[in-house]
Chains A and B, each alone.
Chain A
């Protein structure tokens, strides 16, 4: 039996929304698991979204489950392609052990534009994740032992180059807006969620809302979404790299800041 103390690679990112106050907290935990049968050489990601009651009293008890499931399913869909995250780096030994990354999203305050904020926070958290390096040792009888590296800083980082971000475009009247506040979302009958990578490639698209959209508007909104997505990725990259370069002495901005 493999006896190893699991060191969690948990990184918490707080994304503070400036206007409309959308507050998201994302934690990534790496645990050892068995690879899925159809993909024996890869690890996988599991998403869970908790809409906490602090956002609004309607989310008390099971009230927030519907929205949480919807967001989690959207996250599964945008990550469900070969290029978003290289899952082969998460494999430890094929068919037996792999890393499972549990991405837990906590919604603290809902001020509009949830999907975008959550996807940004998830990307930043994955960038920040450090997974400890392990080695599989096989002894004479054939039983395997997993050895954790002694150095706590010896870890693998995920490449988040191709992780997409969601851009939500809300149709208001004849025009569309991005980064809508709660009030703007209330005025919009239909929205388009576009998942865009840093190169402007669209990985997933979904129309939400009870109104209907003209096919022409959908093309227009998609173009805007791609454009805005590229800019979003560029600014996110610069922010996380700047934060990373501050090193261990950086100020951890939390609620106290």
Chain B
């Protein structure tokens, strides 16, 4: 179909990675002083920034307050200069609203909302490069941890695809644009529970298990990395406190 070969005969992808290999991940917590929690993550060329405010009193209509748990509010916005063709509106369009809802669903599963009744937790994610849901979720996890909001577990996300009988983990923009099946998975690593699963395009159900396993393994690898980032951050913070 397209002249681009997504998986070579030797098993290398377009950017030279192996099928199950992740892109380089670099992350930093506490990038903003004003917010309660913030984090920045780079996964290959995708850069995501997440900011958390809360738990605080419900803003706007008091009627929305839930008597037994906190309200999680997410907004996803994408910088206008992030994609190849300039994007007109950073947020408010259908894709951004849908992403916001998906993030909300993911984090309601992970945050212990019963501990903060009648309050609101705001998660704002900014994607400064055309990319995927996975980087947003990973950044938001770190930001929620930075804010000190109790969570059931890390939420680690990764995407997966399927080309030539092989499951690929952590799709880059080129591989996504090629139009094959794509799976987005958000996992709580300790229990192995899935917080969100989304699949686009057609995939035969015989292959589903393999793709799911590739995504889950990649998410566990992401968890190892994020865990290291959090521990490093805590170590730095405790050194500053003089402990």
Number of A positions contacting B (CB below 8 A): 31
Is A25 an interface residue, CB under 8 A from the partner?
Answer: yes
Please name 4 further chain A to chain B contacts, defined as beta carbons within 8 Å, in addition to the given A53-B77, A255-B31, sorted by A numbering.
A53-B124, A57-B124, A60-B124, A104-B79
A56 to B53, CA, bound (A): 8
A83 to B168, CA, bound (A): 53
Q: Are A53 and B75 in contact (CB under 8 A)?
A: yes
A104 to B53, CA, bound (A): 25
Q: Are B79 and A54 in contact (CB under 8 A)?
A: no
Stretch at the interface among A105-113, A145-153, A188-196: A105-113
Chain B residues contacting A111 (CB-CB under 8 Å) are 34
Chain B residues contacting A2 (CB-CB under 8 Å) are none
A254 to B28, CA, bound (A): 11
Q: Are A21 and B32 in contact (CB under 8 A)?
A: yes
Q: Are B80 and A48 in contact (CB under 8 A)?
A: yes
Knowing A25-B128, A53-B122, A53-B124, say if A61 contacts B49 (CB, 8 Å): no
Give, as a whole number of angstroms, the nearest-CB distance from B230 to chain A: 15
Mark each residue of chain B from 38 to 79: 1 if its CB lies under 8 Å from any CB of chain A, else 0: 101010000101010100100100000000000001010101
A118 to B92, CA, bound (A): 24
Q: Which residue of chain B has its CB nearest to the CB of A11?
A: B81
Q: Are B40 and A50 in contact (CB under 8 A)?
A: no
Q: Are B75 and A61 in contact (CB under 8 A)?
A: yes
Q: Are B49 and A102 in contact (CB under 8 A)?
A: no
Q: Are A256 and B124 in contact (CB under 8 A)?
A: no
Q: Which residue of chain A has its CB nearest to the CB of B56?
A: A57
Is B33 an interface residue, CB under 8 A from the partner?
Answer: yes
Mark each residue of chain B from 14 to 43: 1 if its CB lies under 8 Å from any CB of chain A, else 0: 000000000000101001111100101010
Is A164 an interface residue, CB under 8 A from the partner?
Answer: no
Set B31, B40, B73, B81: member contacting A29, Cβ < 8 A: B81
Is B192 an interface residue, CB under 8 A from the partner?
Answer: no
A112 to B34, CA, bound (A): 12
Interface pairs (11), CB distance under 8 Å: A25-B79, A50-B79, A50-B80, A53-B77, A53-B124, A54-B126, A57-B56, A106-B80, A109-B33, A111-B34, A255-B28
Mark each residue of chain A from 134 to 161: 1 if its CB lies under 8 Å from any CB of chain B, else 0: 0000000000000000000000000000
Chain B residues contacting A62 (CB-CB under 8 Å) are 92
Q: Are A8 and B84 in contact (CB under 8 A)?
A: yes
Chain B residues contacting A12 (CB-CB under 8 Å) are 81
Q: Are A106 and B79 in contact (CB under 8 A)?
A: yes
Q: Are B34 and A21 in contact (CB under 8 A)?
A: yes
Chain B residues contacting A106 (CB-CB under 8 Å) are 79-80, 126, 128
